[in-house]
Chains A and B, each alone.
Chain A
């Protein structure tokens, strides 16, 4: 690429646009309440941990963090296990109504989330699952499964099926072929699906707000939203909460990204 000064400037601007809000959030979360609205906020003049202290001491923010972690992890694990098996069957096994089933899976995820709230609420209430972890994980699966099934179907499709054929002829059963050959090759796809599912669950708001009744089961996004008092918005604590909520996501992405290695199937086929 030629080093044109215009391009460099554009690039710099883009990076700035992406990084600056993050920086602003982090910097502000350590700034005293009184200096939050001073312009420019770029260089922090005073440093304080007040917001974080308030967050964990008064607001007991570890509680929604725990809830979010439990719900998002449980949903991700369940969704990935089920979606992997489903996607494998949908791509490789010959059975009637395969395309139809795939279309249904997609159709389910097309329903606007809000429209699902009333029926799900009634259903969860009848099952006595309101304000429980299961009462969040099950609804979350309604969007997590279609998402991960579609991602994984796409991934399985581009794995050369001859490698599995070879495994079958080598004496492996379908499940053994899946375990010894398909899964090791599908890790990048599975990792991607897991990251996206986790992120989606982590940020989910409407279900979490609707199906929980109090702080005991509220997730982080709901808790943050409820920080607003009648007379004031505690910006410092909200920003501190935003920083704290981002950390597990970064951790998950970093952990799984190691799995996303390009060219894992290189060498299986001809040169």
Chain B
């Protein structure tokens, strides 16, 4: 079931603009991830779609019908809350059954559906327990179960994994992905974790201050970020931004940064521009001196086991960047290393607007 936001704004009574003129289209059966730093309005978008908040302006279309003023109980959506928001006075079985009861299903079919969902999520042994008796992971499962038992038209998930410990989070993330493929349901998934966004989303919408900075499939967001905000938000460790200027040398357009000068990628407009050169730490390498673009001094090395992250200072003594390197023989602080940038993976952004310059 498709969901669309048409120029939706939400201004809270205290004057805070949570969402501003946002247009979004979620296709039938698609999993769209809303990702962004806290306070970017992503949860408000979800609450607007759910009907828990009313937009200040704009329309919300669910299944092509204008649902802007329809109360939440008539929208037939399901939501998984970050806090899980289970009914503490009800048993797990009653928690699962509540939505069906409210919609007037008969007892036998409620029982059957609850059993079936409990079976899928492997929470059958918990059915008679109260939420207080469950672990965090179990509560999360019950919250998901409560959403899917009703077979709603679409799912809204508000940071459903953020309260789980890291290992459980990765497992549950994979399960949610499977669940989406199996149910073929429309899902809108809010997270501040860019890794979750990358792995789960059919498309991801990167949000900042109530606006969508880029809406695209994960790989495109990673490989062709629309601006410096998206570029630095998506990908870990985060992208380095180096201030460079373009200059023509011997009929070649060169990028000149602190202590280096490299040939510019194709289709960069003109010489004499101040631009920001974006380099992901994995797209820079420590190489032998004869292959390098520039030398740099190591200030800190973080060894992660399978790789190491070297924090280096460039020639001007001020510009810092990070380089991912092998953990076999990681450089040590105050070592001089030689860095090479992978030409085909460089990103260029306008220095003033931060917008991407290449096509």
Contacts and interface: CB of A to CB of B under 8 A. Distances in A.
A163 B76 CA distance: 17
A167 B84 contact: no
Contacts of A173: 71, 73
Interface stretch (A22-30, A69-77, A231-239, A259-267): A259-267
Interface string B89-122: 1000000001100110000000000000000000
B179 interface: no
Nearest to A171: B102
Nearest to B134: A267
Interface residues on B, range: 35 or more
Interface in B333-356: none
A170 B102 contact: yes
Contacts of A171: 73, 76, 99, 102-103, 150
A184 interface: yes
B89 A160 contact: no
B133 interface: yes
B282 interface: no
Classify the secondary structure of B's interface with A.
Answer: loop
A264 B132 CA distance: 9
A170 B150 contact: yes
A270 B103 contact: no
Interface in B223-254: none
Contact of B81 (A166, A185, A266, A271): A166
Given A168-B73, A171-B102, A172-B73, A270 B83 contact: yes
A160 B131 contact: no
Nearest to B86: A268
Given A265-B88, A270-B82, 20 more contacts: A165-B50, A166-B81, A168-B72, A169-B51, A169-B73, A169-B78, A171-B103, A172-B98, A172-B102, A173-B73, A181-B87, A184-B89, A266-B88, A267-B86, A267-B134, A268-B84, A268-B86, A268-B131, A269-B85, A271-B135
Interface of A: 160, 162-163, 165-173, 176, 180-181, 184-185, 263-271
